[in-house]
Amino acid sequence: MNSIDIKRWSKISMRTIHLLAVFGVGGGILFGLDKELWIDYWWLALTSGVLMMLMDLLANPLWIIQVRGFVVILKLVLLAMLGWQPDWDSFLLFVIIIISAVISHAPGKLRYYSLYHRQVMNSDNDSKG
């Protein structure tokens, strides 16, 4: 397995862990469970999200000023807010999921748009997966 395959499968594995963790948080919130029953999933979602962010940032530093980087940082901030105001948790969870679905299926012209350079910025170094 070459380094590109390792990076790709690492990213796929991390995304899978992240999705399972978000499902755990979502189940806890939507079924009104005590925070103690879903907090471990929250930590796993936050940690895996940060690790995926670091993988992208290390592969391509432009990532942080592209729309996709901004959106991931926004999602992590919203995820970090879960549990602070329990009345808002369901709303925040839905916003996180909607933003995730929209940006992951958005055209490259939007995802790779640099908020700093005001143009699409592509790189061969982007981590795949």
Gyration radius of the chain's alpha carbons: 16
- Which pLDDT tens digit goes with each residue over 60-117? 999 999 999 999 999 999 999 988 899 999 999 999 999 999 999 999 999 999 999 9
**pTM of the full predicted structure?**
0.86
What pLDDT does 123 receive? 73
How many residues comprise the chain? 129
CA distance 33 to 24: 11
pLDDT surpassing 60 at residue 129: no
Q: Is 118 left (phi over 0), alpha (psi -120 to 50) or beta?
A: left
- Which pLDDT tens digit goes with each residue over 22-48? 999 999 999 999 999 999 999 999 999
